[in-house]
Amino acid sequence: MRYVDGYLLPIPKKSVAAYTKLAKLASKVWKEHGALEYVEAVGDDLAVKMGISFKKRSGAKPADTVVFAFIVYKSRADRDRVNAAVMKDPRIAKMMNAPMPFDMKRMSYGGFKAIVDA
């Protein structure tokens, strides 16, 4: 079964363009190292009537929006291999040493086993 890394990230609306630039580079690097899919999406319809909205769940402030993202791998072992290679990639090292357009301490992240993969 495939494996998925998921992210939920509150981000200032004014920083979406800068974040998108980073996300495009990151997607290229992850895919070059073997990720099957790489998706980053910015909130569009977040005023939900049921459950808890992503904005509320993420602790987004009024000037924030939310990025929901996921990366798909062949397996957890493949994810571990891909992520190890990505972390050694000089493009990612350069990115991580530059100021980020969001607060990394507010990001939620986790790895997930696929239970339905249709």
Start-to-end CA distance of the chain, whole Å, equals 11
Q: Does 98 map to a domain?
A: yes
CA 1 to chain centre: 21
79 in Cβ contact with 73 (< 8 Å): yes
Q: Whole-structure pTM over 0.85, yes or no? A: yes
Q: Does 118 map to a domain?
A: no
Q: Does 16 map to a domain?
A: yes
Highest averaged pLDDT of the listed ranges 37-51, 72-86, 89-103: 72-86
DSSP 3-state assignment of 8? strand
Residue 95's domain comprises 3-113
Mean pLDDT of the chain: 94
pLDDT at 81: 98
Q: Which two tokens stand for residue 88?
A: 């050694």
Number of domains present in the structure of the chain? 1
Q: Does 63 map to a domain?
A: yes
Q: What is the pLDDT of residues 1-43, one digit of tens each?
A: 899 999 999 999 999 999 999 999 999 999 999 999 999 999 9
**Alpha helices, H only, 33-97:** 54-58, 76-88, 90-96
For residue 108, give the CATH number of its domain: 3.30.70.100
pLDDT at 5: 98
